[in-house]
Structure 1
Amino acid sequence: MKKVVFLPLLVVFITSCSAVKVNSDYDKKVDFSQYKTFAFLKSGIDKVEISDLDKKRILRSIDETLTAKGFTKSETPDLLINIFTKEREQVDVNQFNAGWGYGWGYGWNPYFWGGNTSVNRYTEGTLYIDLIDAKKKELIWQGEGEGVLTKDTNKKDENIKEFVTKILEQYPPQKK
C-alpha cells in the first residue's frame, strides 16, 4: 500500500504565500559609507498610485528602518528616497482527483469522480525603494520586495513594515 505525503507540499505552499521575496541592485562603484542623511523625494512619491494612508505607512516604515540603521532625516540630505509600486491579481486553481480509473491506478481519475477543485484569489504587490545620490541625482541602489497584500486594515501596518524591513536589510550592500 502506498502512502501519499502532502506535508512538504503544504509547507512549501504556506511559506510561499506568506514570505516577502526581495532583490536589490546597486552601483558597484559607489562608496555607500559616505551616506549619512536622507529625505524623501516628494515629486516622485506624489506620483505613486496608492492610497495616501498606504503611502504614509510605507514612508513611516522607511523612516523608522533607516533611523535604526543610523541615518538622520535632513533638509540637505545625502540620499533621496523614492518609492513606486505594482499590483496584480493572482488566481491559483488546484484540482485534486481521487478514485480508481481503469488502467490508471489510485490517484488519477479520467472520469473526475471524487475530485475537488479549489480556486484561490489574492493580490500580489511589489514595492520598489530607490536610493538616489542627492548631489549627482543618480540612482545608486534599488530594493524590491514582492509578496501577498492584505486588505485587512489591522494587518496593513505589519505587512508594510515587513516589506520595508526585508527590502532595507539588503542596504548597504555587502561587497564580496
Structure 2
Amino acid sequence: MKTLRLLPVFAVIVLLTSCSTVRVASDYDKNINFNDYKTFAFYKPGIDKAEISDLDKKRVLRAIESEMMAKGYTKSEDPAVLVSIFTKAKERINVYQNNFGFNGGWGGFWGPWAGPWGWNGGFYNNNSVSRTTQGTLYIDLIDSNKNQLIWQGQGTAPLVSGDVDKREERINLIVKEIMEVYPPQVAGN
C-alpha cells in the first residue's frame, strides 16, 4: 500500500527530470559582421579560471570544437576568434506536495453512532523534497585582434553526476543548444 502512495510522487519526479531542457540566452555586438570570422582557438587563461573539473573542461572544449567546426570554422594558431568559457552552479531545492488519495476503510471513524458500517477515510499528505544542481555554462567569443567580446551564449540546465557517458551526453547537449543561436541573425549580414 505504501508503494502505491509513492507512485504518483515518483511519476512526477521522472516527468520533471525527463522534460528538463536547457535554457539558452545570448548577447552580442550588433555592429559585428560574424561572417568575417572563420578561424578560432581556445583562450587558455579564461578556460583555466572555469570552476569545473579538468575532465569536464575537456568535455566542454571537445563539444565546442565540434560545434565550431560544424559551422565552418577551423582551428588555427592565428585565430580571428578566441573561445573562452566560465561556469556557475547553484543548488535548487524543489518541494512536491502530493495531497490527494484516500486512506480509508470500514470502521469506527465516525464513532459509535455510525454503527459497524461507518466509513473510516480521509486524505493523506505525502511531500517530497529533491535537490538538484543547476549549472550555467557561458561561452564567450572574443575578437582576437581587438581583444573585445563579440558574442556570449549561456545555457542553464540541471547537472548530471555519476555515469560518465550520461555526463558527456549532457555536456554535449548543453553546448549544442547554446551554439544553435550562433551566429546571431543580424540584419545586413
Normalising by the residue count of structure 1, what TM-score does the alignment of the two structures yield?
0.82
Q: Note the C-alpha offset of 1:113.
A: 5.0
Match of 1:58 among 57, 60, 85: 60
Q: CA RMSD in A?
A: 2.2
- For residues 124-156 of structure 1, the C-alpha deviation after alignment (integer angstroms, 9 at most, x for no partner) is 100000000000000000000000100022211
Mark the structure with the bigger radius of gyration.
Answer: 2
Q: Note the C-alpha offset of 1:95.
A: 1.6
Q: Does 1:129 align with 2:139?
A: yes
Residue 88 of structure 1 aligns with which residue?
90
Match of 1:148 among 146, 155, 158: 158
Residue 75 of structure 1 aligns with which residue?
77
Q: Distance in 2 between matches of 1:46 and 1:59?
A: 12
- For residues 147-172 of structure 1, the C-alpha deviation after alignment (integer angstroms, 9 at most, x for no partner) is 01000222111000001011011110
Q: Distance in 1 between matches of 2:78 and 2:71?
A: 19
CA contact (8 A) 1:81 1:129 kept: yes
Q: Distance in 1 between matches of 2:17 and 2:170?
A: 15
The one-letter code matched in structure 1 to 2:185 is Q
Q: SS state of the match for residue 173, structure 1? A: coil
Q: Distance in 1 between matches of 2:88 and 2:167?
A: 16
CA contact (8 A) 1:79 1:132 kept: yes
Residue 107 of structure 1 aligns with which residue?
none
Q: Does 1:165 align with 2:189?
A: no
Instruction: Show structure 1 runs of 5+ residues with no match.
Output: 1-5, 101-111
Percentage of matched positions with identical amino acids: 55
- For residues 95-124 of structure 1, the C-alpha deviation after alignment (integer angstroms, 9 at most, x for no partner) is 222379xxxxxxxxxxx9511101111111
More helix per residue: 2
Aligned residues between the structures: 157
CA contact (8 A) 1:17 1:147 kept: no
CA contact (8 A) 1:17 1:148 kept: no
Residue 25 of structure 2 aligns with which residue?
23
Normalising by the residue count of structure 2, what TM-score does the alignment of the two structures yield?
0.77
The one-letter code matched in structure 1 to 2:150 is I
